[in-house]
């Protein structure tokens, strides 16, 4: 059962590893990211951030979509983490059963505007989020499990 799909440019860190995992009772974290699959440094770093008693799986986006759709992940209380809004859109397009998306942390730059405490979006990402919302997916901004939900549709 998917408990959370989260966009977080840092992937696995304290907010995901402890706040969300404990708050949702998750027993598996799936990192869906193409770049980390080619980086032993990233994979090692992510393994170090894994909480004890929680399974960590790392897959590229295509394989993550296949695994989710196959039902092999259904036995877990699963948190899925992607690094970018673009990756989230690909995941959601490939897994139509996913109906909610959490925006946790995205990178700030000169090209972004702030829409949440730790969430910054470009014009292209804003367009992607609107497409996701229009498709019926609830998009929330919430860094920690105990924080108040802010709906992206209200701030875009």
Residue 104: the pLDDT is: 95
Q: How many CB atoms lie within 10 A of CB 15?
A: 19
Torsion of CA 147, 152, 153, 155, to 10 degrees: 90
What is the predicted pLDDT for the residue at 20? 94
* pLDDT given at position 16: 86
Q: Give the model's pLDDT for residue 17.
A: 84
Per-residue confidence of the chain (156 residues) as pLDDT tens digits? 999 999 999 999 887 888 999 999 999 999 999 999 999 999 999 999 999 999 999 999 999 999 999 999 999 999 999 999 999 999 999 999 999 999 999 999 999 999 999 999 999 999 999 999 999 999 999 999 999 999 999 999
* Structural domain boundaries in the chain: 2-154
**What pLDDT, on the 0 to 100 scale, is given for residue 14?**
81
pLDDT of 13? 87
Alpha helices for 1-146 (secondary structure H): 14, 21-24, 40-48, 61-70, 85-94, 123-134
pTM over 0.75: yes
CATH T-level fold of 2-154: Fructose Permease (3.40.35)
Nearest by Cα to 33 from 60, 6, 67: 60
């Amino acid at each position: 059962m998917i408990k959370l799909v989260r966009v977080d440019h840092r992937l696995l860190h304290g907010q995901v590893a402890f706040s969300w995992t404990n708050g949702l009772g998750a027993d598996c974290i799936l990192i869906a990211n193409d770049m980390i699959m080619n980086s032993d440094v990233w994979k090692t770093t992510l393994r170090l951030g894994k909480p004890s008693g929680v399974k960590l799986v790392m897959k590229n986006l295509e394989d993550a979509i296949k695994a989710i759709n196959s039902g092999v992940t259904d036995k877990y209380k699963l948190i899925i983490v992607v690094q970018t809004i673009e990756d989230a859109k690909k995941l959601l397009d490939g897994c139509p059963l996913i109906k909610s998306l959490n925006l946790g942390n995205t990178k700030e730059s000169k090209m972004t505007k702030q829409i949440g405490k730790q969430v910054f979006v470009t014009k292209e990402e804003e367009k992607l989020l609107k497409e996701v919302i229009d498709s019926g997916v609830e998009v929330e901004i919430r860094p920690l499990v105990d924080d108040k939900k802010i709906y992206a549709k209200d701030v875009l």
